[in-house]
Amino acid sequence: MMPSDTHKIVIHADKTPAGEHVRRLNVPTIDEVAIVIVRDQFQPRDIVLHRRNDQLTTFAETHRCLQYPIIFWDGADGYHFNVKMIDPVSGKETNMKCSARNYYSYRLMIQENEDNHILKCRQLVHQYIVDMYAKIKKACLIFIRLNQTKLHSEEYVHLRDPVVNDANTTNIGRLTILPSSYTGSPRHMHECAQDAIAYVHHYGRPELFITVTCNPAWDDIQQLLLPGQSPVDRHDITARVFRQKQKSLMDFMVKHEVFGSVHCWMYSVEWQKRGLPHAHILIWLYNKITSNKIDNVICPEIPNADVDKDLHEVVMKNMIHVPCGTLNPNSPCMIDGKCSKRYPRALVSNTVTGNNGYPLYRRRSAEDGGKLATIQMRNGDIEVDNNQWVVTYSPLLSKTYRAHINVEYCNSIKSIKYICKYVNKGSDMAVFGVQPERSDRNAVIHIDEIAQYQAGRYISSNETVWPIL
């Protein structure tokens, strides 16, 4: 493109293909560096060099140097197929080849007693990460493509189970399978959703549906930032700290049984174009939480600051739905003039669980002993009957983990089906300006699951750090 060119790539939020989960295709809500993979991504991503004499020279993308001259100003080599693993004890080169993933994971590590300047490159390193991630994944997918006979892909035709395709299976020609062993693939997500349904068959409904979001204000993240950096500059830190917190949270519930013995559990980690990871967790308990105990586990009220100052602070910082509606019509939650998250919620003096859907938790009004509080808004402070705006939380989890942790109690089959599907909906996608392909109903259809999986995949820079590390 010429510098004067003003073309834009537009991500369409209103063009969700039939049968797709809306949340997979929503528009990014923050500014971030991301990669959107188009269908022909299997074509080599050659590097074209514009020489000073106006000649263009093409290099293969696997070429060891030439990329990112600002990061590697001294001409340091990038990854190439002959990089060897180093023995960690002797420090000597071994005969084993180093994979692209190993190599980039090493490059992104915080090195002891050594300055890793890559981690100081801010947005440029975001671009570097997504680019290298695409390279790693492409190598993986090419391997799968070239080893289709080992996957017995012809057997899949007899099983007549193309997962992602609504095509008429009698007309299937060549079939390229993306197996369920590939994390995040449609077959993998389908398998997880089947597991969730099997758990429901055996153990009944899950008791708790928990969403935990990475909190960039965590001390563990703040302490590792270099001078002048903000958490956005260090996806490596946010990803790793979140992973540790999330493991610890699972142990807290499953091994330490803070809500009682756990039958089984399931979670998925996702990014959903919000820049930071969050996990959706389903917990099945041996002993169901009885309706008179729910108020001890789940609460949507502002705690009394005189009784528990710490909890009050965590809730005010993390668990308040920013007032929307007439108070703030431009809030991102507003769809067709209504809050998509159903705020402000009705004030009720006692928890009601019989409702077909989510229970109505106790939210006491000011007359009933609830609190009026001030919420800071861009256009000034407002005083609201605050219990209407609190996201349901667990006092125990919020105080321990100091992040946005939404806890819901599941009590209807309707919500369980939705949640099981929601937890396993698959990777983020974006619909953008590519011409749709026309298909002739009677023509022989070549199903290429790998290409289907890749088309329109949206991977944010924060998300790419996770699998690399």
Binding site for Zn ion (CB under 5 A): 324, 333, 339, 341, 343
In the complex, the smallest distance separating the C-beta of residue 393 from Zn ion, rounded to whole angstroms, is 17
Classify 266 as helix, strand or coil: strand
Q: Fill in the DSSP letter of residue 58.
A: E
In the complex, the smallest distance separating the C-beta of residue 388 from Zn ion, rounded to whole angstroms, is 11
In the complex, the smallest distance separating the C-beta of residue 328 from Zn ion, rounded to whole angstroms, is 8
Number of alpha carbons in the 13 Å side-chain half-sphere of residue 322: 11
Inter-residue contact 212 to 244 (CB < 8 Å) = no
Nearer to Zn ion, 117 or 341 (CB): 341
In the complex, the smallest distance separating the C-beta of residue 321 from Zn ion, rounded to whole angstroms, is 6
Report the C-alpha gap between 414 and 311 in whole angstroms.
Answer: 33
To which residue do tokens 């005083």 refer? 383
Nearer to Zn ion, 275 or 344 (CB): 344
In the complex, the smallest distance separating the C-beta of residue 318 from Zn ion, rounded to whole angstroms, is 16
Nearer to Zn ion, 110 or 334 (CB): 334
Nearer to Zn ion, 144 or 302 (CB): 302
Nearer to Zn ion, 272 or 452 (CB): 272
Read off the tokens for 323. Answer: 């007032």
Burial class of residue 317 in the structure, from the number of CB atoms within 10 Å of its CB (0-12 exposed, 13-18 middle, 19+ buried): middle
DSSP codes of every residue in 129-178: HHHHHHHHHHHHHHHHHHTTGGGTHHHHHHHT--SS--S-GGGEEEEE--
In the complex, the smallest distance separating the C-beta of residue 357 from Zn ion, rounded to whole angstroms, is 18
| Helical segments of 85-121, H only | 100-107
Nearest to 214 by CA among 26, 390, 402: 402
Report the C-alpha gap between 207 and 375 in whole angstroms.
Answer: 32
Nearer to Zn ion, 12 or 342 (CB): 342
In the complex, the smallest distance separating the C-beta of residue 313 from Zn ion, rounded to whole angstroms, is 23
**Angstrom distances, CA of residue 226 to CA of 74, 124, 463:** 23, 17, 21
Report the C-alpha gap between 456 and 222 in whole angstroms.
Answer: 34
Sign of CA dihedral 239, 245, 249, 250: positive
In the complex, the smallest distance separating the C-beta of residue 390 from Zn ion, rounded to whole angstroms, is 12
Nearer to Zn ion, 224 or 333 (CB): 333
Read off the tokens for 416. Answer: 């369980």
Nearer to Zn ion, 384 or 455 (CB): 384
Nearer to Zn ion, 17 or 332 (CB): 332
Inter-residue contact 274 to 34 (CB < 8 Å) = no
In the complex, the smallest distance separating the C-beta of residue 319 from Zn ion, rounded to whole angstroms, is 14
Nearest to 239 by CA among 466, 6, 5: 466
In the complex, the smallest distance separating the C-beta of residue 325 from Zn ion, rounded to whole angstroms, is 7
Nearer to Zn ion, 113 or 330 (CB): 330
> What dihedral angle (degrees, nearest 10) is formed by the CA atoms of 413, 418, 421, 422?
-140
In the complex, the smallest distance separating the C-beta of residue 13 from Zn ion, rounded to whole angstroms, is 18
Report the C-alpha gap between 444 and 73 in whole angstroms.
Answer: 51
φ, ψ for residue 107, nearest 5 deg: -60, -30
Read off the tokens for 103. Answer: 């190599």
Which residues, including other chains, have CB under 8 Å from residue 6's CB and lie 6 or more apart?
none
Nearer to Zn ion, 34 or 324 (CB): 324
To which residue do tokens 């997504």 refer? 130
In the complex, the smallest distance separating the C-beta of residue 429 from Zn ion, rounded to whole angstroms, is 25
Helix (H) or strand (E) segment spanning residue 423: helix 413-423
Nearer to Zn ion, 80 or 338 (CB): 338
